[in-house]
Structure 1
Amino acid sequence: MTLYVANGLAKARQTENNFRQLADKDSDYSDKASNVLIVCLMSTREQSELQYLALLKLISDQSGQDFNVRFAMPATHHLKKESETIRGCYEPLPKAEKNHYDWTIVTGSPVDRIAFEEVDYWSEFADFVDWQSKNSKRTFFACWSAAAYAHVKRVHVTQLKRKRFGIYRFDLGEALVDRAPHSRWFSIDFQAAQKAGWRILSGDQRFGVSLAELEQGRVLLSSGHFEYDQDTLQKEYLRDIGKGMKQAKPENYLLDNQQVNDWRQPASELLSDWLGLAGNSAAKGRKNLFKEVA
């Protein structure tokens, strides 16, 4: 099936990447497609765009659902490099918020060692959390944005002394995702989330919340990165070492002494279940973990 992509760095630079393998190169919109907004907060924007498009392409192919995809970023974020180029490829969040969406994705961000209120676009993000509850049928928050959502909702987020860095198992019973990459300096407090009435699907007191469903099932939070490529953690490790940081190698990274991306395919099926798309779980005799959203 087809992704129709309106904007983004990957589309602008498609001769230099694999964008054409993921999206329609001739059209950026279809009346029959579901509308997806991706709020990209990552500094590795083009890489992050391609990773989420690859995840969406899997969901589209499995479910038979086409997607219109639009990328947005906070208008109040200060860009250190390529500001004019990046802003030319992204829709400012206030403009994107004039529309309604079937699904919104909010990425992680490399600001998880900064106090939430000190992030330059914090006020805009907090307002967005309120906006999405009325204007997006479903919203998926990943990594830092999941922790930021928790902070907005007054659920305690702990700053870790050691980065949670590696590939860790999910305890989802019969469900799909066995492992997923994590790269974070925070932990969403498990007990605080329980007291707040979160439906926690994976996590514990030591590890914090890994996956949770909120707002009557229309919001999904993941403290990991379902979208990552198989070598993303390795690249992050080499980047940090190159900056002179003391960083251990990613834990549980190799499977049978090889780098294997064994999370994106099952994660796409998990997200298809949550979105209520073509019944992967029912077709394979599994129970759907998620609440049905009215």
Structure 2
Amino acid sequence: MPIRVPKELPAIKVLEKENIFVMDEDRAMHQDIRPLQLLILNLMPKKDETEVQLLRLLSNTPLQINVDFLHMSSHRAKNTSKDHLKRFYHRFDEVQENYYDGLIITGAPVEQLPFEEVDYWPELSDIFKWSKTHVFSTFHICWGAQAGLYYHHKINKHQLAQKISGIYLHDVLDSAWSILKGFDDVFFAPHSRYTTVQKADIEATAELDILAESQEAGIFLVGNKNNRAFYAMGHLEYDRETLEQEFKRDLEKGIDPEVPAHYFPDNDQEKTPQLRWHMAASLLFSNWLNYAVYQNTPYDLTSLSKEQNQL
């Protein structure tokens, strides 16, 4: 089944070339079903690239999904045009009366700043608070995961000696979780970050479980035991070339980065990187939508506020 997005979103053309069925608003209006309502808070600099990456993964499900995009009105985007944001994105004040089955919060290139020094932290904190009463399940990615753990559980991030960048092997620690249904015992996933969260802090938090981790890269996936929040420290949504592009960008900035680990064949930067993580990516996102969201979300989303008020 398709994902429903604004009719003129540029990502549609890219996805249609990949034979991914994307339904525009006009056609979706003629389907008499209750689609999932999904909100994507896109904090990445190149928002159009992230749109394609996430929509590609969200399409791998038999569910119809209505997707809204959200940006931070308290932050000036430097790599996305004002026209694109105006046409395809909402401000928080425009959606705060809405209810959503699912929310995705992306990563952001601000991880070396203390959370409170990020210019849009007050607005993001308002969104975290709002999500408790207006969103059924939230999927946090990379810095978005660290920010979510900090806001909801007071778990802080810690600076690494050097950036983790590459494709790492991960172990599934608890296959009983539905979000990991169908996973092999091990899988590959990209990481690209300067900070980490400590395992002991997660283990000391009763509401959380560590679901997957890497011996090299550390924790990958954390789940709230009520299935209402997941925190992925890596970037399963990345394309084949994304780490290469980040590496070249850092070279141009004079950062002298390490070559992404286990990424280029024979560590040869002239060779095309192997794509080894998209099967896991598709499965993780489809499992989240199916088991954590669709099979548990209430038909009447306004009941989320009533439920929270009773706690």
In structure 2, runs of 5+ residues without a counterpart are: 176-182, 299-311
Q: For the residues of structure 2 that align with 1:266 and 1:80, how far apart are their CA atoms?
A: 32
| Residue 268 of structure 2 is aligned to residue 259 of structure 1 | no
Number of the residue aligned with 2:232: 222
- The one-letter code sitting in structure 2 at the alignment partner of 1:13 is P
1:51-84 superposed Cα distances (whole Å, 9 cap, x missing partner) = 00111112x2xxx111111111112112335552
- Number of aligned residue pairs: 274
Number of the residue aligned with 2:112: 113
Number of the residue aligned with 2:301: none
- Structure 1 pair 254–84 and aligned structure 2 pair: CA distance change class (3 A): closer
Number of the residue aligned with 2:38: 36
Q: For the residues of structure 2 that align with 1:50 and 1:80, how far apart are their CA atoms?
A: 19
Equivalent residue runs for 1:51-62 within 5 Å: 51-58=53-60, 60=61
- Structure 1 pair 250–129 and aligned structure 2 pair: CA distance change class (3 A): same
Number of the residue aligned with 1:203: 213
- Structure 1 pair 147–231 and aligned structure 2 pair: CA distance change class (3 A): same
CA RMSD in angstroms comes to: 2.7
2:286 corresponds, among 272, 276, 279, to: 272
- Structure 1 pair 82–180 and aligned structure 2 pair: CA distance change class (3 A): closer
Number of the residue aligned with 2:149: 150
1:159-187 superposed Cα distances (whole Å, 9 cap, x missing partner) = 11311100111210563460111101110
The offset of 1:104, in angstroms, is 0.8
- Does the CA-based 8 Å contact 2:167-2:263 persist in structure 1? yes
Number of the residue aligned with 2:243: 233
TM-score using structure 2 length:
0.79
Equivalent residue runs for 1:42-191 within 5 Å: 42-58=44-60, 60=61, 64-80=62-78, 84-88=82-86, 89-152=88-151, 153-172=153-172, 175-176=183-184, 178-191=187-200
1:192 corresponds, among 197, 201, 215, to: 201
In structure 1, runs of 5+ residues without a counterpart are: 279-290
3-state SS of 1:216 partner:
coil
Number of the residue aligned with 2:303: none
- Structure 1 pair 191–86 and aligned structure 2 pair: CA distance change class (3 A): same
The offset of 1:107, in angstroms, is 0.6
- Does the CA-based 8 Å contact 1:39-1:106 persist in structure 2? yes
- Does the CA-based 8 Å contact 2:4-2:67 persist in structure 1? yes
**Mean Cα deviation higher: 171-180 or 187-196:** 171-180
- Does the CA-based 8 Å contact 2:265-2:272 persist in structure 1? yes
Q: For the residues of structure 2 that align with 1:81 and 1:227, how far apart are their CA atoms?
A: 19
**Mean Cα deviation higher: 29-38 or 116-125:** 29-38
- Does the CA-based 8 Å contact 1:187-1:207 persist in structure 2? no
- The one-letter code sitting in structure 1 at the alignment partner of 2:224 is L
- The one-letter code sitting in structure 1 at the alignment partner of 2:164 is R
- Structure 1 pair 13–123 and aligned structure 2 pair: CA distance change class (3 A): same
- Structure 1 pair 246–65 and aligned structure 2 pair: CA distance change class (3 A): same
- Matched residues, percent identical? 31
TM-score using structure 1 length:
0.84
Number of the residue aligned with 2:180: none
- Structure 1 pair 82–193 and aligned structure 2 pair: CA distance change class (3 A): closer
- The one-letter code sitting in structure 2 at the alignment partner of 1:42 is M
**Mean Cα deviation higher: 184-193 or 264-273:** 264-273
Q: For the residues of structure 2 that align with 1:14 and 1:178, how far apart are their CA atoms?
A: 28
Number of the residue aligned with 2:4: 4
- Does the CA-based 8 Å contact 1:97-1:131 persist in structure 2? yes
- Structure 1 pair 204–57 and aligned structure 2 pair: CA distance change class (3 A): closer
Q: For the residues of structure 1 that align with 2:210 and 2:297, how far apart are their CA atoms?
A: 17
- Structure 1 pair 14–201 and aligned structure 2 pair: CA distance change class (3 A): closer
